[in-house]
Structure 1
Amino acid sequence: MVFLSALLLLVAFLVGTLPAGQTLLSRAGVNVRMTNAHNLGVENVLHLVGPRLALLSALLDAAKGFVAVLMASSLGRPEVTVLAALAAYLGHLNPPRALYGQRPPRGRGNLLLLGVLSALAVTGALPLWAAALPVVVYAGVAGYWGFVSAATLAGLLAFALAVALLPLGPAAKLGALALLVAATWRFKENLGRLLDGTEPRLGDPVPLAGRRPDEVVAAFMIHPMTLENFWSAQRFAWLRPLVERGIISEKGVRQLAESMRPMKVGELHGIRTLDGKRIRCYLLSSPLLPDVFRDQPELATRRAIEGARLAQELGAEVFGLGAFWSVVGNKGVDVQAAVPEITVTNGGAYTSGTIKAAIPGILEHFAAQGRDLKHATAGVVGANGVVAFGIARTIAPQVGRLIMVGRDVERLERSAATLRRAAKDTEIITTTSYEPLKDADLIFSATSDPNPVIFPQHVKTGAWIFDEGRPADVHDSVLTMPGVRVIPGGVVRPPGGMTSNIDLQFGEGQVPACLAETLIIAATGEHWRKSLGPQTLSENINFFVEQAQKLGFEVVD
């Protein structure tokens, strides 16, 4: 009897793994990766294929649960029947890769659970009220609150309580409880989105690329710069008092962050271009802190690739890499190669474009203060990088002396030799030290350093600093120096009055230029303009500057 019970449970698991409904949809030309739990799959299927095919797909999934439980009921043991329900559900949630490949389709299992409950009632394994109670609770919570994940968990909690009250053996009671635990784990991301306020409700329009001609969908990858940023997400806020009281170590939190796959943490609403196109942007995050990008580049690249796949599953057509994500995987090249179904950009072109647009105004204002540019000294920090070198190339002919600060002296000298040929009257020096900046009247900084690099000892009274670094290259203490002006760079205000549930740290209604580039690519449909790798084409820089003006994006100065 034990062997037969085990065999029936194995069969129930395998029945649960069968991608019946998803196979039907795939043959009908529906990408099941675009109709998953992130997008309220049942509703999307209904919109994409109509009620007839959607109903048939639903019935196939429900039939899996019904058949699995029906077979197990042949033993006449309610405990085995309830365990078969658990086995079928686990099979549906976790189909073996050995059978279905590296990325097997994974559903939420609500329809399978409906089939399971129907079979438990039909076979008499449970009283009718015990099988019907979870359905009633589910319908009530879903109808009142609108969240499918919360309704499912509430229904399974009611089921576990009902089984606990019945005169059944401990195996059945543990099986019902395990169903609740398995569903809670399956819906952990949905619960996180509930806390963050980003979980869609039943009936909410869920955008997919190409569904509406007047709306485009993009996604952008962010990460916390500090532990303070980590706490700002509501799903992680509960950890803060535990760390402050020493119950959980900061090291433990960092390890937890490194183990987390990308998740949806926010959304940008209200962006509408001057030509009437709406842009919706999902904010995704794998909460890696800045030092991880330096110390574990392979992990960061893997998480970026996972983020691109999540963006594609969410229905986005463009995926932007923000902050330190922009430098992983050969500055996005490896990410794009791993996920060719979605356009990936590191945002470098429009970032350079915002600087190009801002520099003339900065120099004009500087000169308007009675300062002679031809006798001024300018410093460029991070000059080994593409963005900072572009700044150096722009200002070199306009100042008397240029200080190029970087980490690689040989590369700096090669860059300086190019500038000396173009700006013969300008004295150009290269250095790896920040001390020479003390002579600079103007400082332009664009590094990818996770910590500030410019401190009061590097700045003279009255200097102007254009800080393009993200996070900021200039330490807060510099702001207290007499006459020193710090101008943040690369900040853009999208058109239409943008709102967000998460603080991006760029000011209300404002985004970094790399995010703006992601939005512009989505709005224009010119995906070949994406920024990948270390090189940035001048024609693409000009394109984003021109299109930003046409669409209504404004550079904040």
Structure 2
Amino acid sequence: MTPQPPTGGKFAFLVHPRSDVAADMGRVWRPLGRIPARAWESGLRHLPVPPLRLATVHRRDTGTHEPDGWIIVVPATPRQLLTEKRPWVLGRVESAIDRAEALGASIVGLGALTAPATRAGRMLRERPGMTVTTGNAFTAHLTVEGLRRLSAAASGSHLAIVGATGSVGSCVVRLLADEPIGSDLTLVSRGGQRLEDLAAEVRGRGVAVRTSTSMDAVRDADVVLVLTSATDALLGSQHLKHGALVLDDTQPRNTDPRLREERPDVLVIDGGVAAIPGIHIRGDIGLPRGLAYACLCETMLMSFDGQAASATGEASIGHARRMRDAARRFAHLGFTLADPLSFGHRATWPAPAGASAAAVAVHRA
């Protein structure tokens, strides 16, 4: 393929250590993985740990050796991002954006909990010439693609969405309202008027909508989508019917790892992962090579496509469709729904409902 010059600026994507802080910090520099988790929690809170560069990102079609973007670690744990005082949290995120600017980035993506911790970027200070995105719109688009694959194999048509009123969740619900994939929809969130307003918005389009504030409401669901960023909301064996199919879009994940052993009848797919064979990430982001999270992909797409309008706040259907279209323009690099992983292990999509026994795919590799 003839090298194609980039059309936009360089980008940076922000991440942070997940539940296993030592293991994730060891991806930056192996000796850091030897520091106990308790020491990391205290050290990140009290010491002036700077943002760290985890990886560089390179397009394979440009013929240049210069990076197109960087992945930067915000020095804070998931618990700290959600529970520490706002000035401390914002200071950590802003310092990472300072690092991104110094590297030459003009687009910054807010990965994992850096988006909810900054109210989807709305609490960050204005920076002339800097575009910010949560990455939630392309995540919503890719999530709907994954739900279609799972729903085709489900034994019934009941879909439950946990975290329905969040930025990704509300966009997914609205996308599904336009093109339903089931006849029975349950929306689960912490409650309040937002939940009822969202349900009212999508009722009357041929889909029965129920609402709940309890995780127990998913017990009858054939397909469950998990989108909540709450650290105390963990989907476990007790919440799932026999043969349920689960798409977990959360980072850190909100499905109990014990499900893999306790419930062999249940398939859990790691959501929001795209195939990017035309992109080379030099560094360990916790995924097999050739794969990336959808929020990182949105940051790349906005950079490659030269999009300068920030995408903060609640993800919109309009932006999700713009990202879908951008992915098609850069299809030679990938940006398609990846072959599935389950708790980080290779898996296969389940066979469509009604397939012969000989055609049924094995759930786990």
Q: Deviations over 1:269-291 (max 9, x none)?
A: 44335x87886221212320011
Match of 1:310 in 2: 99
1:500 aligns with 2:282: yes
For 1:74-223, list aligned pairs within 5 A.
216-223=9-16
Q: Kindly report which structure 2 residues correspond to 1:231-250, keeping only aligned pairs within 5 A, or say none.
A: 231-233=25-27, 235=29, 237=31, 240=34, 243=36, 250=38
Query: Structure 1 CA distance, aligned partners of 2:97 and 2:268?
Result: 35
Residues 378, 443 of structure 1: 8 Å contact kept = yes
Q: Judging changes above 3 Å, is the alpha-carbon distance between structure 1 residues 456 and 525 closer, same or farther for their aligned structure 2 residues?
A: same
Shift of 1:439: 0.9
Q: Take 2:244 and 2:169, find their aligned partners in 1: how far apart are those partners? A: 18
Give, in whole Å, the separation in 1 of the partners of 2:226 and 2:330.
28
- Counterpart among 395, 401, 407 of residue 184 in structure 2: 401
Give the drift of 1:233. 4.2
C-alpha separation in 2, matches of 1:231 and 1:312: 22
AA of the residue aligned to 1:298: P
Opposite residue 196 of structure 2, the aligned amino acid is E
Instruction: Report if aligned partners of 1:261, 1:306 keep a CA contact under 8 Å in 2.
Output: no
State how far apart, in whole Å, the 2-side matches of 1:415 and 1:430 are. Answer: 10
CA shift in 2, pair 1:230/1:287, >3 Å: farther
When the two chains are superposed, the root-mean-square deviation of aligned CA atoms in Å is: 2.7
Aligned to 1:487: 269
Whole-angstrom distance in 1 between the partners of 2:322 and 2:67: 19
Closer, same or farther: CA 233–483 of 1 in aligned 2, 3 Å: closer
Q: Cα 1:410–1:538, aligned 2, differ >3 Å: closer, same or farther?
A: closer
Distance in 1, Cα, partners of 2:75 & 2:101:
19
> Any unmatched runs of 5+ in structure 2?
340-365
Measured in 2, the distance between the counterparts of 1:379 and 1:239 equals: 37
Separation in 1 of the partners of 2:8 and 2:122? Answer: 27
Q: Any conservation in 2 of the 1:335–1:344 contact (CA below 8 Å)? A: no
Provide closer, same or farther for how the CA distance between residues 261 and 286 of structure 1 changes in structure 2, counting only shifts above 3 A: farther
Is 2:277–2:291's contact at 8 Å kept on the other side of the alignment? no
Matched, 1:416 2:217: no
* Residues 279, 523 of structure 1: 8 Å contact kept: no
User: How far off is 1:313 after superposition?
Assistant: 1.0
Q: Deviations over 1:477-502 (max 9, x none)?
A: 22231331112211122242523222
Distance apart, 1:217 and its partner CA: 2.4
User: Which residue of 2 is the match for residue 335 of structure 1?
Assistant: 124
The Cα shift of 1:404 comes to 1.5
Measured after TM superposition, the shift of residue 394 of structure 1 is: 4.5
* Counterpart pick for 1:533 among 296, 304, 313: 313
Q: How does 1:10-29 map to 2 (within 5 A)?
A: none
One of 375, 390, 397 as aligned partner of 2:171: 390
2:22 is aligned with what amino acid? Answer: E
Q: Is 1:511–2:323 an aligned residue pair?
A: no
Evaluate the alpha carbon distance shift between residue 352 and residue 398 of structure 1 in structure 2; reply closer, same or farther with a 3 A threshold. Answer: closer
Displacement after TM superposition at 1:214 (Å): 7.7
| Larger Rg over CA atoms | 1
Change (3 A) 1:345 1:460: same
Tell which has more relative contact order, 1 or 2 (C-alpha 8 A, sep 6+).
2
Question: How far did 1:472 drift?
Answer: 1.6
Q: Give the match's secondary structure for 1:305.
A: helix
TM-score after normalising by structure 1? 0.54
Unaligned runs of 5+ residues in structure 1 are: 1-211, 244-248
TM norm structure 2: 0.79
The aligned amino acid for 1:548 is A
Alpha-carbon distance change, 260 to 420 in structure 1, aligned in 2, over 3 angstroms: same
Determine the C-alpha separation between the residues in 1 that align with 2:67 and 2:33: 34
1:115 aligns with none
Higher strand share: 2
1:398/1:323 Cα in 2 relative to 1: closer, same or farther (>3 Å)?
closer
The question of whether the paired residues in 2 share the 8 Å contact of 1:216 and 1:279 is answered with no
Secondary structure of 2:105 counterpart: coil
- Secondary structure of the residue that 1:469 maps to in structure 2? coil
In the alignment, the residues of structure 2 paired with residue 219 and residue 550 of structure 1 have an alpha-carbon distance, to the nearest angstrom, of 21
How far the C-alpha of 1:219 sits from its partner, in A, is: 1.1
**Alignment length (residue pairs):** 325
> Over residues 177-232 of structure 1, what are the superposed CA-to-partner deviations in whole Å (9 max), with x where a residue is unaligned?
xxxxxxxxxxxxxxxxxxxxxxxxxxxxxxxxxxx868952111111013233541
Q: Superposed, which structure 2 residues align to 1:270-285 within 5 Å? A: 270-273=58-61, 280-285=68-73
Residue 255 of structure 1 aligns with which residue? 42
**Paired position in structure 1 for 2:213:** 432
